[in-house]
Chain A
Amino acid sequence: MKSNYAVLLIAIPLLVAFLQPLFSLINKRLTKWVTFLTIGFNFIYSLKLLNYVMANGAQIAIIGNWKPPFGINLYLSPFSMLFATIIYFVALIVLLVYLIDKPTEVDDRMSIATLLMVMASGAITLTGDIFNMFVFVEILSISTVILISFNNKGISFKGAFRYIVLASLGSSMLLLAIGFIYGSLGTLNLASIAYRFNLLNPVYASVIVFLFMAGIMVEAELFPFNAWVPEAYKGSKSYLNALLSGVVGTTGIYVLFRMFITIFGSGQNHIQVIGSVNFNAVIIVIGVLTTLIGEFSALSQKDIKKILAFSSMAQMGIIAVTIGVANMNSINAGIFHLINHAFSKSLLFIVAFPIINIVGSANIDKWEGLGRKNIFLAIAFAIGSFGLIGIPFFNGFWSKMMIVESVVSAGGWMYLVIGTILLSALVETFYFFRIIFKLFVDKKIESTYSVHIFIYLAILILSIIVIYIGIKPSFLATYIHKAAIDLVDKSHYISTVLGVIK
């Protein structure tokens, strides 16, 4: 069966990661290229698989011919392949910048960590086994910690340590949730958990959902498990932040989507109420709090990395709200916004990298006059922030419109939520325009840093995507629509994995 080869998306990066020490014996720069090519292979192959599942419907890859629910399977559907493709794509663009960054002593080890991190993120989106998911979440958090700490500054170690403490706390809760699930349902296969989940005692079920949510909120940058965000982003290199936001954050939210809507929820109606706990409301409250905290923290910062870090936290909050609002439109909007955020935020982080090098500081007060020195970078920064704020004819506009629209149609106390989203857009507009105005101040900057063609290439690709989605949002519409249908169709998920249930 063709879909079984999807295992290569996990196996090849893993194999290459452990061969990296051999490549580094030849040349340390070689490891960077090997990493780039491996992720390139993953991107092309996942794109192929995405088109395959778009045409032929969801597939499963069975490992070792042990049929689910006994063996481990990968689930390839429009939703999971779409996000795997986007994760590999963002990673590939970021690696373009990594390739030409000045060589350091630790390049080989950094290549290994990057490769493992991207592999784990992709694997989390594909896996159909909850314990596999736990293992990949652990690999993701450990390799992220290693990547953050490579910068060799006090704040990097502090950020890395804070992240790993929260991540181990989260993973303990995740494991506890898995223990509860296995103890009560006797299975680790996601499809068979989904099949039996409503048979559970409501008290048990709500404990499991709470623990699972707490476990994955670290990766999804949601309050109150996001204390690591500012220091970790500040401590690592600007283009690696694009990985933290575009890959780790996206993966965290992906898991929330998949688990809450398909596995724990009841398909169309989502999770709603288990026992006496209304989980929709819980997620909405968490999302709203995250958004408000993120936006207002961003407002008071002067450091570009911290501003973008808090802003990505806020966007994750908005997307979490769409999970809680729980209707088909909001899921469409949430998926769309998650994709847009991954592109725009990666663009901003990648643009920030040469700007920091030219200006010599991450403090936005020092950025005055950059537009005169290098108009291209200034315009690219403006494009990225317009996409994020949601200025008409940029990608974020459509997804934010869809989110507001879906929340309006939900009615009731959701009007409070609309207020939050609009307020956050307002605050965002304020702090991004503050930076953009600074960029175009007439002032001379002395700098000898020359921007490499690869950085321009990465910026150009992402800018074109941001503008293209803004002008022609229908380009992604079929993918998003199929992904949303795949997400809510619980019985289809179960029957694809377990076969037809009598």
Chain B
Amino acid sequence: MKTFRIGGVHPAENKLSAGKPIVVAELPKQAVFPLSQHIGAPAVACVAKGDVVKVGTKIAEAGGFVSAPIFSSVSGKVNKIDSIVDASGYRKPAIFIDVQGDEWEETIDRSETLVKECDLDAKAIVEKIKNAGVVGMGGACFPCHVKLSPPPGMVPTCVIVNAVECEPYLTADHQLMLEHPEEILVGVQLVMKAVNVTKGYIGIENNKLDAIKLMTEKAVQFPGIEVVPLKVKYPQGGEKQLIDAVIGRQVPAPPALPVSVGAILQNVGTMYAIYQAVMKNKPLFERVVTVTGKSLANPQNFLARMGTPMQQLIDACGGLPEDTGKVIGGGPMMGKALMNTEVPICKGSSGVLIMNMTEAKRAEADPCIRCAKCVSACPMGLEPYLLSTCSAKADWERVEKEDIVSCIECGSCQFTCPSHRPLLDMIRLGKSTVMGIIRARSAKK
């Protein structure tokens, strides 16, 4: 069975909510839409206080090419355009909408019937995806249409769908595959048409055997699409790791893109969103979110509207347990601890993980014992101990030379460190500083 070649770790899977059907979450009383839900320029609000909106009404325009519009997930009245404390504790601009009823835009096709035939050409498909505000739903939130418009001179040869879900605990993508396999496959076909390739791969780790079986069965009707079972290893969901695992090619160091080895990568959730955007005229305003945790009474998968406060989903699972140590937005490896639970669900919220006290506690850092476990674990072939030390000493020249910008921040080094050193914390700092230095340098030129 295939997997990527360099590094990787095996965290406990803990897929507590696996096999739990997707439950439609209740509408919130007030939905909040941060204007910057994606990588790139923040969206620009195009509604004003007091405006009446429906489900699917555009409330913010894209702020540039690398940006995406935002659509209302509820019907009601715009209460205010103000700021909200985001997951990290800083204030960001957001649109607040008071929910009244549940009235949808007429253009959206709400029927459940599967539409397979699409007579749009490649350009029209990308345009439709762009106008529906679809972004990468794996967590990075990179605007989808940008990936589908490769720079001139680069010719994609295949589409790779990331259905790996290598983060422990999370089951949103798994459940989505079980409940909407055909829609996803139509989505893959649309993307293949949009970038003009004939080959599509769906990479699934073999801890989701039911999904592999179901997708393989359904894929027979879709020529060119192949399901690739993969060995379980973290971080297989990283785009460079997945390309290596599926087609055995390695993406050069940044600024090279996956398309430079001919691959277009999309998350399986994104494929579903693309299907809905192109075939059902439904912009991106809801997504599957896993709410899970060992102490949580009832871990579940929800279909939640964007802007729903996370607290509401936690309450629907039985409320915050008493021994809660941390609430994490995303998975345990790459997710970020939330400052408060009133943070709304955004385009990139794949899960809410409630860690108990014992899980959440970070052991005290001991001195580095030079065991080089982090070096063997790093899927990018970097030397985390060195990057971390040099970042702590603010030796930016050295870390740049040591290729810190290649770091994908997967956290394998910190996970594997027997001295519990905060490697990733320091590397993140170094990476963001070096990126800033590089940007400033290219701006000067």
- Do A and B share a complex? no
* Partner-A contacts on B (CB < 8 A): none
